[in-house]
Structure 1
């Protein structure tokens, strides 16, 4: 490994160590108020406990009782409190100012955790000559160190700063400013209690996160199941529309060819050619549906690589009507209004609607004449297929009722409605209204 490569790895490692691991959590108003109260309260407690007059009054009441009981003279000497007394009136204002200055950074401890810790350490060096302020800076350093370890996004620098802070205070502390023995248990127990509470909260959040993850997995599985059912229903509708229409037409044309095979061979030949054309059309549409399922093509456009035919639309209605006319069904196709560009999904739905209605005419109303109407409105498209009535065909009893159900589902996707029923003058009418946006 070359020297340049080693230097590059060292720089990358240094950048990784100083890169934030996680963003700071959002700071609520309650947290800000708590930090301000903590800093101010710590400063006021230090000032109040450091009042030498109060300390003298307390121990002047205790010492006579100790002497009367024969206690040792050392018992009358006040032990070192957690906060040192303010010794003389000349330095009272300066000491109070230093005490407040030392705890002031704690107001921003959760907004700038590592910066507050370093600020507290710098202030500890600055107040080295004042034992009361130096001892106060130690307590502030404990709080700032805990905050940096827990909240700072710079984990490695924050953890590395803790031993530096400990060694700095060991160097700065003297006999006059060292921490009292009575404060040591609190300095040990309080961080343990805070750490235990943090661990409990972490476990609670972990349990909640696991519960949310399980719920999300369940919802995702349920959504996948619904999507699968919806896709199966859509494929079933496509196959029904494609197969039923073309096979019905082929059956009628083949039956007509059989009946006139001997008497009119030329017409029988034309009928068989129509059967062949219907079969090719059915194969094309089936290949399209099956191609969408397999998508074996590779590249950025697998559907295009699979050589799929486009979905039929309104332009294919003329060919559909002509194929039905070739079977002997008189059909009139009427368009009214100003044609507007429509989404391909709506065009496919209209095509399938006309296809299904004409298939039903062939199956259930042989000999009927049909009128197909497309009326373009300002904000809607109306489609109507009406027949004059006829006799049921040979395949009339093979219906499953899926056709109209599938059409209603198709129309519902685009906000359309379907009405189907017998006409008062005879025959049957299928009518749909589809809202469209005017361009």
Structure 2
């Protein structure tokens, strides 16, 4: 392992530093134990023994970067130490720890090869100790290998699970970022759609009224004043709706909570104001509302959707249908609400607004968002029709 990551740190120290400290500590402990314990029938612990102890323990400092090389080096150092006639000591832990590292980091044939080498060294250590019975000399390497494989296998499984968790955590973070970006994009589309509906409708009304006021400014002052009043009213309402959208953006509330900030959310309750504003432009509009059975009020998001579709449809009639009349029919029934907007304006050959523009696209996206259907097209008897159907949750 060539580097350290935040997961490979202990108390702010990277694992290479920890391994170096451990190898140095084992070397010092071995030397102190060798000087304190000097049996008469073994070679006296001297400077050469200290050197062999360093050759056995210090390679463990690189056990994570080069585990197999560290194991072979510590096994060679310990074998040389025993061959020179020094008594077994804490150096015995050098090959054991080296094998443990190989089992954890290099499973497979490398771990098997390391086990064979370590078993031979541990067996040689038993042979060099005459006091040990032959059975202990044989069983000791087997017990060491079994313990190292059990502990090393458990550590390797835990490390694998930690890596898998790290991968899953990184993937979840990426998915969360993607969902956040997607939510932001959807919110931008929704706000853009709202802005289009608000601006397109009110600017269409204002444009028509400006043309009327300019035309009758001198010849019919009362009509010009009425047109200016309509312009002022449309401007104020557009300003209120723009303020509502900005409040939603600033405070982070939804459409149902926006009314708490002092601005009424558009809905079917305000359809009369919408129709009056359109009538003021000279377009006759009739409204019919049918209720099959007593039904509860629409949820705020569905109420706004129906209102926006009616608003956009009347705006398109005002802009593209020419001299015409329009009829808005709203039907409430359990489980659904239907809105139909028809006009008797000029035919589809001359009429340009059926071509898919941002208005129609925005209506379709808005309706699709709530699981509804929107059908548009010319009528056989002339004019154009927009029909909206939205599913309404049935409250028990």
Distance in structure 2 (CA, Å) of the matches to 1:253 and 1:236: 25
Structure 2 CA distance for partners of 1:295 and 1:400, relative to 1, 3 Å: farther
1:193 corresponds to: 149
Deviation at 1:232, TM superposition (A): 1.1
1:213 and 2:169 matched: yes
2:281 alignment partner in structure 1: 327
TM-score normalised per structure 2: 0.60
Q: Among 195, 215, 232, which residue is 2:188 paired with?
A: 232
Match of 2:247?
Answer: 291
1:253 aligns with 2:209: yes
Counterpart among 316, 325, 338 of residue 270 in structure 2? 316
The aligned residue for residue 419 of structure 1 is 375
**Aligned-pair distance for 1:189?**
3.0
What is the aligned counterpart of 1:433 among 362, 375, 389? 389
Q: 1:302/1:181 Cα in 2 relative to 1: closer, same or farther (>3 Å)?
A: farther
Kindly state the Cα deviation for residue 391 of structure 1 after the two structures are TM-superposed.
Answer: 8.9
For the residue of structure 1 that corresponds to 2:218, the secondary structure is coil
Deviation at 1:226, TM superposition (A): 1.5
Q: Distance between the aligned counterparts of 2:272 and 2:229, measured in 1?
A: 18
CA contact (8 A) 2:347 2:382 kept: no
TM-score (norm 1): 0.54
Distance, in Å, in 2 between the alignment partners of 1:376 and 1:227 is: 32
**CA 256–339 in structure 1, closer or farther in 2 if over 3 Å, else same:** farther
C-alpha distance in 2, partners of 1:374/1:362?
20
Say if 1:350 and 1:383, in contact at 8 Å, map to a contact too.
yes
Q: State the secondary structure of the residue aligned to 1:432.
A: strand
CA contact (8 A) 1:296 1:302 kept: no
Distance 2:294 2:227 in 1: 34
**CA offset digits 1:340-382 (Å, max 9, x no partner):** 2211111000000100000001110122100000012232211
The answer as to whether partners of 1:291 and 1:308 remain within 8 angstroms in 2 is: no
Aligned to 2:120: none
Q: Residues 394-413 of structure 1 correspond to what in structure 2 (within 5 A)?
A: 401-413=357-369
Distance 2:364 2:290 in 1: 24
| Distance across 2 between alignment mates of 1:391 and 1:260 | 29
CA distance 1:332–1:249, change in 2 (3 Å): same
Asked if structure 1 preserves the Cα contact closer than 8 Å seen for 2:339 and 2:389, the reply is yes
Which deviations, in whole Å up to 9, do the C-alpha atoms of 1:256-303 show, x marking residues without a partner? 011000000011001101000000000000011111112299xxx996
The 2-side partners of 1:204 and 1:376 are apart by 60
Gaps of 5+ in 1: 1-178
SS at match of 1:207: helix
1:64-143 equivalences under 5 Å are: none
**Distance across 1 between alignment mates of 2:303 and 2:155:** 61
Which position in structure 2 is the counterpart of 1:374?
330
Cα RMSD for the two superposed structures: 2.7
Note the alpha carbon deviations across 1:74-130, whole angstroms, 9 max, x for none.
xxxxxxxxxxxxxxxxxxxxxxxxxxxxxxxxxxxxxxxxxxxxxxxxxxxxxxxxx
CA offsets 1:45-97 (integer angstroms, 9 cap, x no match): xxxxxxxxxxxxxxxxxxxxxxxxxxxxxxxxxxxxxxxxxxxxxxxxxxxxx
Larger Rg: 1
The answer to whether the 8 A contact 2:213-2:223 is kept is: yes
- In the TM superposition, structure 1's runs of 4+ consecutive aligned residues that sit over 6 Å from their partners are none
CA distance 1:184–1:308, shift in 2 (3 Å): farther
